[in-house]
Structure formats: C-alpha cells, structure tokens
Amino acid sequence: MKMLINVAESVVADALRGMAAAHPELIVDVEHRLIVRRNAPVAGKVGLVSGGGSGHEPLHGGFVGRGMLDAACPGEVFTSPVPDQMVRAAAAVDSGAGVLFIVKNYTGDVLNFDMAAELAEDEGVQIAKVLVNDDVAVLDSLYTAGRRGTGATLFVEKLAGALAEEGAPLERVEALARRVNESSRSFGVALSACTTPAKGSPTFDLPAGELELGVGIHGEPGRERRGMMTSGEIADVVVDAVVEDLRPDAPVIALVNGMGGTPLLELYGFNAEVHRALAERKVPVARTLVGNYVTSLDMAGCSVTLCQVDEELLRLWDAPVSTPGLRWGC
Amino acid sequence: MNASTAPGPVIDADFLRRWLATAAAVVDREADRLTELDSPIGDADHGSNMRRGFTAAHAAVELEPPQTPGGVLTLVGSQLISTVGGAAGPLYGTLLRRAGKALGDGTPATPEEFRDALRTGVEAVGKLGGAVPGDKTMLDALVPAVEALSFALDAGAGLADGLAAARIAADEGAAATVPLQARKGRASYLGPRSIGHQDPGATSAALLVAALADTAAEAVA
C-alpha cells in the first residue's frame, strides 16, 4: 500500500509538525505529543482534555480551540496516549476551575486516562472524567469491553466545550457531557478495511462485493458481513440500528461521518438517504453535519451518530467554535 | 517434576537486566508476528507498541541500572506505562511495577520471593483489567505460568527448572486462547468471530516468560 509518509515510526510526529506549521493559534508540542490552545489556561474556565490513538483526524487535535477542547493528547496510530501526556495537558489547561477528561470507551484509553487522573490529582488539579460509549454495534456489553466511543465524542467535545466557554463550573460541564453521551448513539459501516502505517496492508480482508456492518474506528472488523448494498439500503440499516437503540422523542443532530476514504460526493448522497430514512421513521433533524470527522485512516465507509437535543443542547451546538476541524459563528 | 540439584541463578539486579535484554530482543524479533496476530481480532499494533516500550525500558535500565531486582522491575514497569500506550502499557507496566514493589529493596531475591512478587503482579493485572483466565487475554498465559513456577518450586525444583515449566505453561496457555471467545479488550467486539485466533497479549506474555526461562537457563549453564 502506497502512503504519503516518510517512515511508519514518525507518522504521528510528522503530522504534529505539520499541524504546528498550519495552526499558529495552537501550541503543538511535538516532543511531548500535545496540542494546546495558545491562550490556555483560560481564566476561570474549566479545561477540556481529550485524546486517543492517532488515525481518527480531525478527532481530537483538530478540535482544539475556542468553544471546544483546550488540549488533545495524540497517541500512536490506534493506540491510546500514555498518562504522562494527559498529566502534562491537565497542568497546561487548568485555570484552577478543574479539568474534564473526555475518554472514549476502549480498555487502553480508560486505563491510561485513569492513571493520568490519579497523577494529576496528586499534583493538585481537580479532574472529572466522562466516558463516551455510543456505538450500538456492540450489543452484549456484559461480555465485552462495553460499547465503544465513536462519533458521539464530537458532540460531547462540542457541547461541553461550549458550556465551559460560558464559564460553567466543572460539575455542570461534567453533567452535560454525560447527558450528551447518554443522548447519542452511533453505528458504522466499512466498505474497505484501513491500512495502518505499521502494518502496511489492510487490517482485515474485505472482499470486493461485500461490506462490514458495525465496524469500530480502529480497523477492527465489525459484527456482520453482507453483500454490497446501495447507499439507500445502507442508510436504512444504519438508521434502524441507531434509532431502535436511541428511541428519540425529540429532534436530533445528525453526524453523517466519513471514515476517511469515502468521497464527500458519496457522503452527501448518503446524507440524503439518511434524511429520507429518518423522515420515514418520524425523527426530526434539527442540525446536520456531513464530513470526515471521526475517521479510521483510509477506511472507506461511514457512520451515523444521532444526538437527541433540547433547547440548551441546540444553543450550545450553535455557539461559536473555532478549531481546525470545526469552525462556525466566529 | 524432577527436583533440580543445580544451584539456581541468583535473582539480583543483574539477572533481571539480562532478562530485560533478552526480552527486548525477543519482542523486537517477534514484533511483526504480534502485530500480525493483532490484525484479525485487534488493531494491528501490538508488536510495534511492545517493541517501542521494551526498547525504551532497556535503554532506561542501561542508562542508570538500578541496584536491586525490585528496582529493575519497577523501572521497567514505569517505562512501559510511559511509552507503550494502549491497554498493554498500563497492564504490563502494572504487572512489573507491582512485582518490583513486592520485592522491596532486598537483593538478591529468593525464588519463592520472586514467585510471590510475580503472583502479586499478575493479580494486579487481573484487578486493573477486570479480566479472569478464559477471557482471552494475557492472563491466560500469565496465570498458568505463575502456577507452574509455584508448583515446581513447592516440589523442590530450582528456579531454572521452575521457569522452564512456567514457559511451557505460558506457551500452552497462549495456544489455548485460540478456541476462546474474547470477553475483554478490543477483540471482544467481534463476539464469536474472535474464536479461532490466538490472543496477541497472551502471546507476548508467553514471550516474556520464555525470556525469563532462557535467562535462568543461561545463568545455570
């Protein structure tokens, strides 16, 4: 597989150097693997720190900035960051109002953020944690590591980020982040496996003419393999999976997300089918975001995340945000 | 189990430094295989993560060699936590840190002290990850390895023979993960489709036990 890289070992550092060059409004610490708002800590504001394996860009580093994250900790490709990174990030963004860790529910992320929380608290930083676990493809949470954190992470980071920007205290920001996660569900589909730089070949074998339902965002295979379907048929399967689990009784924000290797042309066509499917199921859509936001390297495919909203969440969604990956209202 | 009459290797800082050098070399050599095992049921990075961690740990220990066996294990564990990432970093890091702390400041350690320390470390891994044997994790190699070592020592074997038995138990434990359905970690998302693949974590754990057995065997020879 041809890749636009120097060597596999330096892909994360190389990308960070490139981010630094493109975004002078961010502090990009290549050595310690940190992306921080240049004006951090913002006086009186709760700090938001997230992180995870690289390969999901723009998540998380691309969501650092006004109205969203204060810092992001990128790990190696598909590997959670190490505690040292989160401890350093917490110290960099804590104004005294405390820090919220936004953690996707994967064993590695949970363990590393837990260790970091202990160490940061030892250093006098008040830490709260919210776990994102929105992936309905994981059915049996009792006998698995639990539902994965995927597209809802964007909603948690945006909405909690907006509330923190308003000066809300840590308990409220944490409670809202939890509420956003509980109001969100996702389901993903792969048309092709992704290729990690370290391996150099697709992580699983997906024959032409087949797709994989219920994939995660780490190149791990999904729950079920089926023959290729049309965009409309895929939308029905995905929307059914999400709506049956979420059972929304209020409008939703829809994230129609690309996995990294699917063109926007296809993604917008898919969005039309998602809207059609939601309308047929009487789910009103308040806002829609279409694009590659929570990706899985070069995987072709898509996911849909729905977040049921009330007036407060909608107001926070519309609030100004200025990050490399998400920008409006300012 | 034949009780060995050969004098066992002395479990001091130097012994564990030699173990670490052997382990780092084995992990480096087997990294591609670990990543390959991690592809169908994981995310294809276990080998590269372990290689990065053991390379860093080896460098740190050689830079400032601790004077006690507990000190070596604790330093290696801290280095793994700081460099591996994923679940493997905290889990292997906790295993070695807890074992190192259990050994305390004494040197050398007796085989029984060493076994007890390893058991403490393995129990800490189970607690941290919430896994039990049979979940298709590194515990499927580590728990039988400690049990085999314990059984051998109780039967009067020396450390080298005990670790040779532990190595066999770890290898068998890793191989026995093939028919298991994963209940922890990323492979668990596959449900029944995780069956038929050997667990990469159990495999790397068996490599580390094998490195221990090799180090002891070389010391006796």
Q: Is A218 a catalytic residue?
A: yes
Crossing angle, helix B13-41 and helix B69-83, to 10 degrees?
Answer: 30
For the residues of B91-144, what is the DSSP string, one character each? HHHHHHHHHHHHHTT-SSBPHHHHHHHHHHHHHHHHHHHT--TTSSSTHHHHHH
Joined together, the tokens standing for residue A49 give 């720190």
The whole-angstrom separation of Cα A43 and Cα A56 is 30
Segment holding A49, helix H or strand E: strand A47-54
**pLDDT per residue as tens digits for the range B157-171:** 999 999 999 999 999
Tell me which residue range forms the domain holding B178: 13-220
CB contact under 8 Å between B82 and A76, yes or no, is no
Q: Which residue carries 């792969």 as its tokens?
A: A190
Contacts of A305 (CB under 8 A, 6+ apart): A134, A150, A151, A152, A154, A155, A184, A185, A186, A242, A254, A255, A257
CB contact under 8 Å between B189 and A82, yes or no, is no
Q: Which residue has the higher pLDDT, B184 or A65?
A: A65
Q: Which of residues 125-184 of B touch A (CB under 8 A)?
A: 128-129, 181-184
Q: Which of B206, B116, B112 is nearest to B166 (CA)?
A: B206
The whole-angstrom separation of Cα A232 and Cα A238 is 10
Please indicate, yes or no, if residue B7 is contained in any of the structural domains: no
Please indicate, yes or no, if residue B212 is contained in any of the structural domains: yes
Mean pLDDT taken over chain B? 94
User: What was the ipTM of the complex prediction?
Assistant: 0.85
Alpha-carbon gap: B79 to the closest alpha carbon of chain A (Å):
10
Q: Is A229 on the interface with B (CB under 8 A)?
A: no
Please indicate, yes or no, if residue B23 is contained in any of the structural domains: yes
Q: Is A56 a catalytic residue?
A: yes
Catalytic residue among A23, A32, A60, A218: A218
Q: Is B101 on the interface with A (CB under 8 A)?
A: no
Q: pTM of the prediction?
A: 0.91
Q: Which of residues 138-197 of A touch B (CB under 8 A)?
A: 138-140, 143-145, 148, 196
For an interface test with B, the pick among A220, A297, A298 (most B C-beta atoms closer than 10 Å) comes out as A220
Between β-strands A47-54 and A99-104, what pairing exists: parallel, antiparallel or unpaired? parallel
Please indicate, yes or no, if residue B170 is contained in any of the structural domains: yes
How many domains are there within chain B?
Answer: 1
Q: Is A119 on the interface with B (CB under 8 A)?
A: no
Walk along chain A (330 residues) and give the pLDDT tens digit of each residue. 899 999 998 999 999 999 999 999 999 999 999 999 999 999 999 999 999 999 999 999 999 999 999 999 999 999 999 999 999 999 999 999 999 999 999 999 999 999 999 999 999 999 999 999 999 998 766 677 889 999 999 999 999 999 999 999 999 999 999 999 999 999 999 999 999 898 888 878 888 899 999 988 887 777 789 999 999 999 999 999 999 999 999 999 999 999 999 999 999 999 999 999 999 999 999 999 999 999 999 999 999 999 999 999 999 999 999 999 999 998
**pLDDT per residue as tens digits for the range B82-136:** 999 999 999 999 999 999 999 999 999 999 999 999 999 999 999 999 999 999 9
Q: Chain centroid to CA A26: how far?
A: 19
- Domains, chain A, in order of start with CATH, read 8-183 (3.40.50.10440), 184-308 (3.30.1180.20)
CB contact under 8 Å between A115 and B81, yes or no, is yes
Q: CATH number of the domain that B112 lies in?
A: 1.25.40.340
Please tell me whether residue A218 adopts helix, strand or coil conformation.
coil
